[in-house]
């Protein structure tokens, strides 16, 4: 029986290393600046997965010395009330970053709300101004998950330039910004999605394959080029036979890890990197204020 040959891209370890470095930076700067960096996370409703993510972000902030200005709103909160809250946070000198936890309840227009965030405080990198800067390869706050993917590849010294990169998924959160970041790093990029034909032949051409679709086990070992770099951005909750729920990715880890050279685990791969990039964006925004 073939055993796993792929080396693990350990996002958890790299995230801890980045957080340690941010913590040291904040300890040094806080006495000079007279306050810590501040992050406001807005959550609407009681989606249990969102609540868990928000708690994780707040704990990470506490660990590195970022002040949390979390606000939790009931499900029926109006768009106007949330817009007022964002306007106040835009003007709050204690707050460097503002993040709206998605998904929002159905009656709220998330695009309209995200567009209210001042671009320099948009630590999720989703404002059209920051997206536009990414398109033009200009300095700006970058989307956390794709930035985390790029940072992880860099840490393991995986060359991107000239490589065939395939991104599965075209969401505004991951697929599109990640394709732009890979282009910026001089990869040849293909974006495949639910309407693409011959997915298997597309994935088999990839030196670097990034799965960001949200369908568990979509990518199997036979869909990969031997020696490919496989990055799994998918986070899917499944309930096993005993009734316990667990997280699995878009990649069928067992079969893929026999073919790939490097692979990210789920959990412990890109999830922790997203949080690390959020903290890094908050500190970056903090530094521009002084």
Residues classed as catalytic: 57, 101, 124
Burial track 142-167 (b if 16+ CB lie within 10 A, e otherwise):
bbbbbbbbbbbbebeebebeebbbbb
Bridge partners, 72 (sequence order): 43
* Rounded CA separation 143/127 (Å): 9
- The answer to the question of whether 171 is labelled as a binding residue is yes
Alpha helices by DSSP H, listed for the chain, are 11-33, 48-64, 79-90, 110-114, 128-135, 144-155, 175-184, 199-203, 253-256, 270-287
Residues 134/137/139/145 CA torsion (nearest 10 deg): 40
Assess whether the previous peptide bond of 267 is cis (omega < 30° from 0): yes
For residue 93, what are its two tokens?
A: 């000198």
* Rounded CA separation 246/249 (Å): 10
For residue 100, what are its two tokens?
A: 């709206």
CB 99, CB 123: distance < 8 Å: yes
Closest by CA to 155, choosing from 21, 7, 266, 11, is 11
CB 216, CB 236: distance < 8 Å: yes
Q: Residue ranges for the binding site for NADP(+)?
A: 169-171, 235
Output the known binding site.
169-171, 235
């Amino acid at each position: 029986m073939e055993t796993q040959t792929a080396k693990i891209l350990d996002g958890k370890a790299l995230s801890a290393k980045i957080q340690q470095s941010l913590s040291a930076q904040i300890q040094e700067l806080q006495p000079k600046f007279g306050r810590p960096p501040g992050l406001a996370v807005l959550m609407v409703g009681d989606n249990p997965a969102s609540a868990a993510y928000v708690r994780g972000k707040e704990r990470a902030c506490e660990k590195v010395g970022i002040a949390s200005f979390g606000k939790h709103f009931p499900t029926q909160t109006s768009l106007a009330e949330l817009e007022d809250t964002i306007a106040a946070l835009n003007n709050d000198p204690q707050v460097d970053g503002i993040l709206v936890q998605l998904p929002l309840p159905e009656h709220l227009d998330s695009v309209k709300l995200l567009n209210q965030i001042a671009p320099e405080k948009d630590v999720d990198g989703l404002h059209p101004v920051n997206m536009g800067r990414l398109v033009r390869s200009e300095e700006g706050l970058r989307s956390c998950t794709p930035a985390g993917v790029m940072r992880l590849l860099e840490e393991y010294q995986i060359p991107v330039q000239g490589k065939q990169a395939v991104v599965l998924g075209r969401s505004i959160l991951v697929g599109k910004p990640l394709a732009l970041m890979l282009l910026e790093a001089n990869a040849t990029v293909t974006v495949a999605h639910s309407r693409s034909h011959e997915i298997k032949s597309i994935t088999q051409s990839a030196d670097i394959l990034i799965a960001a679709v949200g369908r568990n086990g979509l990518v199997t070992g036979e869909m990969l080029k031997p020696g490919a770099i496989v990055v799994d951005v998918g986070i899917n909750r499944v309930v096993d036979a005993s009734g316990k729920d667990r997280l699995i990715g878009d990649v069928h880890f067992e079969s893929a890890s026999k073919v790939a050279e490097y692979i990210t685990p789920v959990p412990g791969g890109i999830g922790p990197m997203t949080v690390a990039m959020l903290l890094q964006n908050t500190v970056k925004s903090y530094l521009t204020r002084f």
